[in-house]
Chain A
Amino acid sequence: MLSFVFRRILSLVPVLFIVSLMVFSIFRLVPGDPVDAFLGTEQDPEVRRALRAEFGLDKSLPVQYLYWVKNILQGNLGRSFSTQQNVLKLLGEKLPNTIYLAFSSIFISILIAVPAGIIAATRRKKLEDYSAMTFALLGISIPGFWLGIMFILIFSLYLGWFPSMGFVSPLEDPLRSLWYLALPAFSLGWLQAAILTRLTRSSMLDVLNREYVRTARAQGHPERTVIFRYSLKNALIPIVTIVGLRLAALLGGTIVIEQIFSWPGVGLLLLQAIFARDYPLVQGAVLIIAVGFVLINLLVDITYQLIDPRIRMS
């Protein structure tokens, strides 16, 4: 087990290397030069040279890369062009809000998907199954950003049940916070719920056909015991993995939802930074999201091994 964890962590090295190259290239792909974007109409060549030196732009590319990596490893992501604040500090303020939104929407999607998937599998080819599968198909076809807008239209503008945008910290006022969380979390959880419903159904169907389930039935256990005690437990293994992987994917999905609901997370910050041409902040936000994604995948892999010893053996 330890050697697996070690090997898995070692495999992060090439991944992080390529991620860092990609993030580094953003700065270099910008037409012209980030200094032009920063200075705007300021034309004094002396100021320009000083700034180029400050960003290390007067050195060769490999040197710039090493310099950049060294800074990151020391926790220095640079200063934001637009607010002059420390990028790491700016991101640190917004990250908990994104995590709050992502975890809530995964939680909602599990609440919907696991029962829906179980019902669909146990009532196969019946009305319940077809309705659950229709819901799942709509879930993967309807874009979350449109759904968010429709939720605003229906639940906040017409019915007035929920606020259309904004954020209240759960530490300040938990109830009001949930009220603001509802629409964004549902819009974000929608796609995940659809994917998980399909997966729970096929995973349950797979287990329900196994011999030990047939044996349990033959022994006269009530259907409830067969489903919840014998089948669900084993069907859950792939579901746990996918939940973890979806959580990582959610970090990307939050960008659009945060924008629609003005949710003050890393995604919204990234978009604002892109439009302000605030490249240090763009790099920092992309880096944080990408590294978060890679680390969650790592944790999922390791957890998977812990839950299912059969995989460890092979």
Chain B
Amino acid sequence: MNQKIRIASLQVYESKTAFLGFLLIVALFLAGALGPVLASHDPLEMHYTKRLAPPSKENLLGTDQFGRDLLSRILWGAWRALLISLAVVVLGLLMGIPAGALPGYYGGIIDNIAMRIVDAWLAFPGILFFLALLAALGPGLSTLIIALSVGSVPSTARLVRGLVLAEKEKEYIEAARAIGENDSFILFRHILPNVLSPIIVMATVSLGHVILIASALSFLGLGEVPPAPSWGLMLSEARNFIETSPLLAIIPGTAISISVLGFNLFGDGLRDLLDPRLSEE
């Protein structure tokens, strides 16, 4: 596995698009990690005297309708976007992996019931699920993270279940059973480590997808709440000033697109390298 990753990282370097994706992700992480330090202004500090100011030496990208520094808000926004995305994907995996691995491993009626639920759940459009849940729970950072991570469970479970199902038929698993290792040891120490690659690929692409959908929900007013420096919220607020200050809308949208593009490029590249079977054509 380690060697596989080492080879893969060399190949990522060689594949130009995957490397570009990697650079974009690194830039996003740097902006997120250093943003709060680099930001020249407090992202929430309002200055009524310089509302909707154009770019200047002091405010490199100008200010918003409350005189807040746009660049500082974008940098803080990167941190928030990453935080939400990582939290959602990690929580989603913690719920989705057991939800798929156990039915896949034990089969039978558990598998049947679990997969019927997954099928039915996937027959429900994702955005509608989030809207309905957020409408009931109310907007906010924690409800957004809960809704998105719960919503990712069925697709993760289906992927993991398929992988476990195929892996458990292999000979080394039979051997492990023959020497009397117990089920949880076989499942967590033998099977799961061997099916990690496709799960990593899915998680990478999900990181970008979560940034996109979280921005959309915040944009609709159902995700993060003002005055948080969230890219989706910034975009939604910018609509009222688009004629006079188009930068307020252009910059957050560019930030979202570049982040999602980074994860898509890197995810595509990883898929080709770690799991050639899954790649297109």
Closest B residue to A282 by beta carbon equals B135
Chain A hits for B208, CB < 8 A = 141
Nearest chain A CB to B129 CB, angstrom units: 7
CB under 8 Å from chain A, chain B span 131-178: 131-133, 135-138
Chain B hits for A294, CB < 8 A = 123
Chain A hits for B238, CB < 8 A = 149
Nearest chain A CB to B24 CB, angstrom units: 10
Once the chains are docked, how many angstroms separate the CA of A100 from the CA of B239? 25
CB under 8 Å from chain A, chain B span 206-256: 208, 212, 215-216, 219-222, 235, 238-239, 242-243, 246, 249-250, 252-253, 256
Once the chains are docked, how many angstroms separate the CA of A19 from the CA of B120? 7
Chain B hits for A198, CB < 8 A = 280
- Identify whether the interface residues of A are mostly helix, strand, loop, or mixed: helix
Query: Which one of B123, B129, B253, B280 contacts A146 once the chains associate, using CB atoms below 8 Å?
Result: B253
Taking a contact as CB atoms under 8 Å apart, the answer to whether A140 and B264 are in contact is yes
Q: Is A306 an interface residue (CB 8 A)?
A: no
Nearest chain B CB to A21 CB, angstrom units: 9
Query: Which one of A142, A152, A248, A260 contacts B125 once the chains associate, using CB atoms below 8 Å?
Result: A248
- Identify whether the interface residues of B are mostly helix, strand, loop, or mixed: helix
CB-CB under 8 A for A282 and B132, given A138-B261, A157-B242, A256-B216: yes
Chain A hits for B249, CB < 8 A = 146, 149-150, 153
CB under 8 Å from chain B, chain A span 1-58: 14-15, 17-19, 22-23, 25-27, 29-31
Once the chains are docked, how many angstroms separate the CA of A25 from the CA of B129? 11
Taking a contact as CB atoms under 8 Å apart, the answer to whether A149 and B132 are in contact is no
Once the chains are docked, how many angstroms separate the CA of A153 from the CA of B247? 11
Interface residues on A, range: 35 or more
Taking a contact as CB atoms under 8 Å apart, the answer to whether A143 and B124 are in contact is no
Nearest chain A CB to B271 CB, angstrom units: 13
CB under 8 Å from chain B, chain A span 268-294: 270-271, 274-275, 282, 286, 289-290, 293-294
Once the chains are docked, how many angstroms separate the CA of A290 from the CA of B127? 11
Chain B hits for A201, CB < 8 A = 281
Closest B residue to A12 by beta carbon equals B123
Taking a contact as CB atoms under 8 Å apart, the answer to whether B257 and A146 are in contact is yes
Closest A residue to B252 by beta carbon equals A146
Q: Is A251 an interface residue (CB 8 A)?
A: yes
Taking a contact as CB atoms under 8 Å apart, the answer to whether A256 and B219 are in contact is yes
Q: Is B119 an interface residue (CB 8 A)?
A: yes
Q: Is B260 an interface residue (CB 8 A)?
A: yes
Closest A residue to B221 by beta carbon equals A275
Query: Which one of A29, A252, A290, A297 contacts B133 once the chains associate, using CB atoms below 8 Å?
Result: A29
Query: Which one of A29, A153, A290 contacts B137 once the chains associate, using CB atoms below 8 Å?
Result: A29
Chain A hits for B116, CB < 8 A = 14
Query: Which one of A15, A26, A141 contacts B120 once the chains associate, using CB atoms below 8 Å?
Result: A15
Taking a contact as CB atoms under 8 Å apart, the answer to whether B222 and A274 are in contact is yes
Once the chains are docked, how many angstroms separate the CA of A124 from the CA of B86? 37
Once the chains are docked, how many angstroms separate the CA of A198 from the CA of B121? 27
Nearest chain A CB to B85 CB, angstrom units: 14
Q: Is A137 an interface residue (CB 8 A)?
A: yes
**Most chain A CB neighbours (cut-off 10 Å) among B120, B208, B261:** B120
Nearest chain B CB to A8 CB, angstrom units: 12
CB-CB under 8 A for A26 and B280, given A256-B216, A294-B123: no
Chain B hits for A137, CB < 8 A = 261, 264-265
Once the chains are docked, how many angstroms separate the CA of A140 from the CA of B263? 11
Nearest chain A CB to B137 CB, angstrom units: 6
Chain B hits for A290, CB < 8 A = 124-125, 128
Taking a contact as CB atoms under 8 Å apart, the answer to whether A271 and B123 are in contact is no
Taking a contact as CB atoms under 8 Å apart, the answer to whether B220 and A259 are in contact is yes
Taking a contact as CB atoms under 8 Å apart, the answer to whether A251 and B120 are in contact is no
Q: Is A223 an interface residue (CB 8 A)?
A: no
Once the chains are docked, how many angstroms separate the CA of A15 from the CA of B125? 12
Once the chains are docked, how many angstroms separate the CA of A17 from the CA of B123? 11
Q: Is B195 an interface residue (CB 8 A)?
A: no
CB-CB under 8 A for A274 and B135, given A19-B120, A140-B264, A142-B257: yes
CB-CB under 8 A for A149 and B123, given A29-B137, A206-B281: no
Chain A hits for B222, CB < 8 A = 274
Nearest chain A CB to B119 CB, angstrom units: 7
Query: Which one of B123, B128, B215, B216 contacts A286 once the chains associate, using CB atoms below 8 Å?
Result: B128
Chain B hits for A274, CB < 8 A = 131, 135, 222
CB under 8 Å from chain B, chain A span 150-200: 150, 152-153, 157, 198
Nearest chain B CB to A182 CB, angstrom units: 19
Q: Is A255 an interface residue (CB 8 A)?
A: yes
Closest B residue to A205 by beta carbon equals B281
Given contacts A140-B260, A143-B260, A260-B239, 6 further A-B contacts (CB under 8 A): A18-B120, A26-B133, A137-B261, A137-B264, A256-B127, A290-B124
Q: Which residues of A contact B (CB under 8 A)?
A: 14-15, 17-19, 22-23, 25-27, 29-31, 137-138, 140-143, 145-146, 149-150, 152-153, 157, 198, 201-202, 205-206, 248-249, 251-253, 255-256, 259-260, 270-271, 274-275, 282, 286, 289-290, 293-294, 297
Q: Which residues of B contact A (CB under 8 A)?
A: 116-117, 119-121, 123-129, 131-133, 135-138, 208, 212, 215-216, 219-222, 235, 238-239, 242-243, 246, 249-250, 252-253, 256-257, 260-261, 264-265, 280-281
Q: Please, could you name 9 A-B residue pairs with CB atoms under 8 Å apart, sorted by A? A: A22-B132, A138-B261, A142-B257, A146-B256, A149-B253, A249-B125, A252-B127, A290-B128, A294-B123
